[in-house]
Amino acid sequence: MTDLVLTPGQATLAQLALVYRREVSVTLNRSCRPGVEAAAAAIAAAAAGDAPVYGVNTGFGKLASLRIAAEDTATLQRNLILSHCCGVGAPISRRHVRLMMVLKLLSLGRGASGVRWALIELLESMLARGVTPVVPGQGSVGASGDLAPLAHMTAVLIGQGEAEVAGQVLPGAEALAAAGLAPVALGPKEGLAFINGTQFSTAFALAGLFDGWAAAQAALVTSALSTDAIMGSTAPLQPEIHALRGHAGQIEAAAAMRALLAGSEIRESHQIGDSRVQDPYCIRCQPQVTGAAMDVLRMAAGTLEIEANAATDNPLVLTEAGLIVSGGNFHAEPVGFAADMIALALSEIGAIAQRRVALMVDPVLSFDLPAFLTPKPGLNSGLMIAEVTTAALMCENKHIAMPCVTDSTPTSANQEDHVSMAAHGAVRLGRMVENLNVILGVEAICAAQGIEFRAPLMTSVPLASVVARLRQDVATLGEDRYLAPDLAAAARLVAEGGLVAACGLDLPKL
């Protein structure tokens, strides 16, 4: 297991992507320990004092006005975790839980939460020894924090709940014991520090971002394939056009497509004498659409990188000022906005890709390709229903891309009267990426088929390599056959980066 040392406040998207994609052992840079311990000392002093401090010696939410006796503060925190374990639905994936755990480490490591260092060490040890809490996927409204899912994560630390270890799901205490670990008793505010926060929503938003960017890169490749398949013009990729507009994503998308198509015999064959004046928008405006989506993904990335490094519980310990202050950093509104932005980008990448699929299977628009890209139309239906499937997935993505952050509802007896719905917005991104990967996989199948119909003319070297890689998993379509495995294989190639790797070019980075 790879060791990764993260500095709270300075973790990068590249580091978080590594956590998401690989099973890494994560520890915090020990330079943060003095700040963590200073905040813990401040909380211990407050717990021993007479002044009411929210979440330390008071109840929670609507019950904040109720004082808790000093001898009951440990019970208060334990009860908080147990009562908040109200998640429902299927458990989230192991890698989502581990990313959530790492994000919680980063938040606690900022030294504003007041937890003891021992809790940070236990969370690190759970990551290192493969103890992964079982966290149901539903139950958060994104304020005050992702309470239910984070409670399920925290329950394992106190020997409750369930966790997976060595491929088995065990009760929390047994899972810890199997890994040579022991549960802890929570001190003042420690339960609250663990469940107030945006780490569930942020983990899913980051996952959607990372997988969405991979899909955006694949879309550059499949769109170039489609352009050659229908003998589209590369004139709209002229760099001066994009420089005059100035958007970075558009400029990069056009440059990538120029590189992908450079040297294509198919393109050169119709430079002169082509009766078409302009291609449809799905060919002509690819840089403007996919490039704009790339820009939106990068804007969301900026928000999520900040959030990943943020202290998001309540109250926060301001050690230099000598204060413990109630605020609202648990409100996941920034994450909700970022998730909605990612959803819009994913939807639009898929929308224009689907139109390219529709273009290629239509003999009226595909510039002499056979109907539905089959050598014997009529007897064979070819890729007719594959295109219909992309239309279904495109429309599904459009439906679920509607903003979630605007759908607030009051909770907790109107104490928490505006919530972010960031969890909803972030969780749906996984489904959207899966749909998009199928759309792009079908586009690759159609475009490869179209390019092969242009023989003996050859496509560019990068695109020929992409077609060759696709053909390792998906054979050329002759007679009709059972197509579901082909669609799944192509989608998997998109998701795993196989098509992007095959082109051999350095495509735009997040």
Residues catalogued as catalytic: 54
CA atoms of 205 and 340, how far apart (whole Å): 9
Q: What is the DSSP letter of 475?
A: P
For residues 419 and 409, the answer to whether their CB atoms sit within 8 Å is: yes
The residues near 154 (Cβ < 8 Å, ≥ 6 apart) are: 81, 191, 194, 195
> Could you tell me the two tokens for 294?
């790339």
Token pair recorded at residue 73: 């503060």
Select from 294, 220, 291, 292 the least CA-distant residue to 258: 220
Give the separation between CA 441 and CA 486, rounded to whole angstroms. Answer: 9
Report the distance separating Cα 330 and Cα 195, nearest Å.
9
Give dist(CA 351, CA 289) in Å, integer: 10
Strand partners, 67: 58
- Read off the amino acid at residue 38: A
- Helix ranges restricted to H, 129-247: 147-157, 172-178, 190-195, 199-229, 239-245
Q: State phi, psi for 338 to the nearest 5 degrees.
A: -60, -40
Residues 139 and 43: beta-carbon distance below 8 Å = no
CA distances 56 to 72, 207, 233, 326, 394, Å, are 10, 34, 67, 11, 49
Dig out the tokens for 215 from the structure: 């899909």
CB atoms within 10 A of CB 327: 13
What token pair was written down for 136?
């149901």
